[in-house]
Structure formats: C-alpha cells, structure tokens
Amino acid sequence: MDSKETQEPLCPVEESQCQHIDELMELRLRTNELEGLVHTDTLTGLFNYRYFLLALEQELERTRRSGHPTSLVMLDLDHFKRVNDTWGHEVGNKVLRQTADIIGQLLRRIDFPCRYGGEEFVLILPATPLPRAITVAERLRQAIADTPVELESDTFSVNVSMGVSVYGKHSRLTSEAFIQEVDALLYQAKEGGRNRVEHAALDAVRPAGQVSRMRKVHYLMSLNNRYSTGLMIPACRRLISVLIYLSIVMSVIPTVTAGVYRWVDENGKVHFTDRPPPDQKAKQVKIRKSGAGGDKRAVRSDGERKQLQQKLLDSYRQDRETKQLEIAKKKKAARERVLKCAYAKDQLREYLDAAGVYELQADGSRRVLSKDAHNVAIKEARSAVEQWCD
C-alpha cells in the first residue's frame, strides 16, 4: 500500500472534524480488505485461482526478460474422496488447512502457494531451476506424509502426488500450455502409483550447449588418451606406459619402514627395541630409510623383519653416538678457549700494572700516566691476547 493511500487527506475547509474525510478513509480500508479477499482462498489462507493466473503470467514474462527459470509444482491429495466419505467434510477441510500450513512453512517468501481447486494446490517457484524444484517437491511430499491428521478418537496420514516442470528463457509455451504440461505430469504420478513426484526430463530442459558433469569428465579423459594428431591411443599401449611408470617409481624410491618402540628406564636412559618392554610405557615410532641405502626387497617373514629392525637400530645408535662425541669435542674446545682468554686478560692486567701505565686512585679507579707508554703496552698486550685466544 502506498503512503499516499494511508495518509489521511486534509479537509478542504480546514475543519478538525470532517464527515467526508472519515467516509473516504473507511472506504479505502474496505477496498483493501476486499482486494485481499479477492486474491485469498478463505479456507486455506493461500492465494486463490484468480491470483494464481495473474502471478504466473507475471513470472513467465520476467523469465523471458531476465532468463531466470520459473518452476511450477502441482500437487493433489491422494484418495481425498475417501477421507470425506469416511470422516466427513469437516475433517476434509481440516486436512486441506493442515496441508496449506505445511506448504506455507516450507516455501520461501518469494514463492506463490495457491489453491488450484478442490484438493489440488499449485506452487510458483521464481528463479528456481528444475533440480532444485524437484528437491523442494520431495521435501514437501515427505513432510505431508510424516504429519498425521489428529482427530479426537483416531489419527490418519495423507499422501500427495506431484508434477514438476520448469519454464526457461527460450520456452515458447503460453501459460495455459505450461499448466497443461504440469497437469499431465501430475496425472502420470497418479498412474504410476501415487505418493510420488513426476517431473520433466532433465536433459530436455537443459540449455543448448550445456553438458553434464560426467560428460565433461569423459571428454577430458578422451583428450588425455589421444595423440597430438587427434588419434586415439590404443588401450594396450596406455597400459604399458602405466606399468613402465610404476616400475621406474618403485626402483628410484625404495622405502623400508619398520616399527620400533622407544622407552625410558628408571635411570632416565632411552632405549629402542622392536618389542615393548614389560611394565614400561613405550611409544612406537617409525624409522624410515629410503634412497640407495634402502632395502629393495619386501619384508615377508618375522626373521627378516627383526634383522632389518636390528640393523636400523644399530645404525641409529651409531649415528647418535657419533653426534654426541662431536658435540662433546666442540664443548671441550670452547671451554679451553674461554679459559685461555681469561688467563690472557689476567696477564694483560698484570703487564699493564707492572709497566707503570696506570696509577691507582683512592676510589679504586685507574688513571693513565703516559699516553705513549699506554699505546705501546696495548699493542704488546693485544698480540699476547691474540696468541692465547687464537
């Protein structure tokens, strides 16, 4: 509703109370109510058949202009006459209202749920391709079947049959022909056993030039299996190429993997064994050895596996002991270097004191007596320090 229609008009003679203005506002409210009643089904609260025809024509025109597909779903309650004959028309009306409530809960706000007539409903799904419309129809069919109708003394379930189709940008059907197409699909669902969704063929509604995902995969595979001239590579030659590739990979990268347990004893010593020790928390680790030094044969027996594990353990321990010896030698050399430097600094201090270069002050600091003597002493002491710290 526009703001001009909701805004109360002003009285021409500027009276605070105007009878004509009040009557005009009341007529506007009644007109809006009548417009809603004209487009709404009284029993279900959905849009009626009149509004369905108007909305469908608008959506089809929008599809022709924008290219976004519009799907149409038509559904019919199965054996609805049996419900009226068994429980009465009031229960039948309750079934219709319950079905309308489920439809309103599952659809989007931009969709148009309408009552087509009797126990038939029709749904307009704007900007919805056929696969998505089929998914919506299946979800709606399952929801209606899983929601029983509860009476005071009994409960029962109802099922629906559905027909689904889509209107694309290049479609040339009129709105009446499109409705007849969906109605024919609904009739096929009835003939096919009811409680099912019948839809148009997906290949028939696919745009020209569009292919499925599987066809794309087959096309790419066919390109990889062709020569540069375009001729197909024979299957036997492709198999030989694969076998040659696998043999090269297996010969270049030989790998042997053995399981080894790592555990620590009470004294904090680390052990590596092929079996976990009793009453000890062991962690299994993988020792991987590849390249030219790896064993190219597969480990097939327990004896070969134990020999290989022992060989790997010995190699690991030997490498570890070698590294520890190298680290110990480096630490020892560093300690000796530090001691030599400290001794050289002490010798430098004694040499400078004996040369009489400094004069000790009362506060413990030193004062240089002669700059020339100081420079000569520094040069001699620097050579001595470099000799000790080299």
How far is Cα 327 from Cα 22, in angstroms, rounded to an integer? 103
DSSP 8-state secondary structure symbol assigned to residue 170? T
Spans of the chain, pLDDT less than 70: 1-22, 24, 32-34, 36-37, 204-238, 240-242, 244-305, 342-378, 380-390
- Report the pLDDT value the prediction gives residue 60, as an integer from 0 to 100: 94
Three-state DSSP at 24 gives helix
| Cβ proximity of 164 and 129 under 8 Å | no
Residue type, 115: R
Angle at 89 between CA 88 and CA 92, to 5 degrees: 100
- Report the pLDDT value the prediction gives residue 302, as an integer from 0 to 100: 62
pLDDT digits (tens, 9 = 90+) for 352-376: 666 555 665 666 666 666 666 666 6
Cα distances from 15 to residues 10, 11, 18, 25, 116, in angstroms, run 9, 6, 6, 16, 50
User: Which residue shows structure tokens 């009226």?
Assistant: 84
Three-state DSSP at 390 gives coil
Where do runs of H (alpha helix) occur along the chain? 3-6, 19-39, 49-66, 80-87, 89-106, 130-146, 175-191, 202-205, 213-224, 235-252, 302-355, 371-389
Tell me the DSSP string of 267-307: TS-EEEESSPPTTS--EEEEEEEESTTS--SPP-SHHHHHH
- Can you give the pTM of this predicted structure? 0.50
Long-range contacts of 56-64 (CB under 8 A, 24+ apart): 56/112, 56/124, 56/175, 56/178, 56/179, 57/175, 59/112, 59/124, 59/126, 60/167, 60/175, 60/178, 62/126, 63/167, 63/168, 63/169, 63/171, 64/169, 64/171
SS (H, E, C) 35-99: HHHHHECCCCCCECHHHHHHHHHHHHHHHHHHCCCEEEEEEEECCHHHHHHHHCHHHHHHHHHHH
Give the sheet arrangement for strand 120-125, strand by strand. 112-117, 120-125, 70-77, 160-167, 197-199
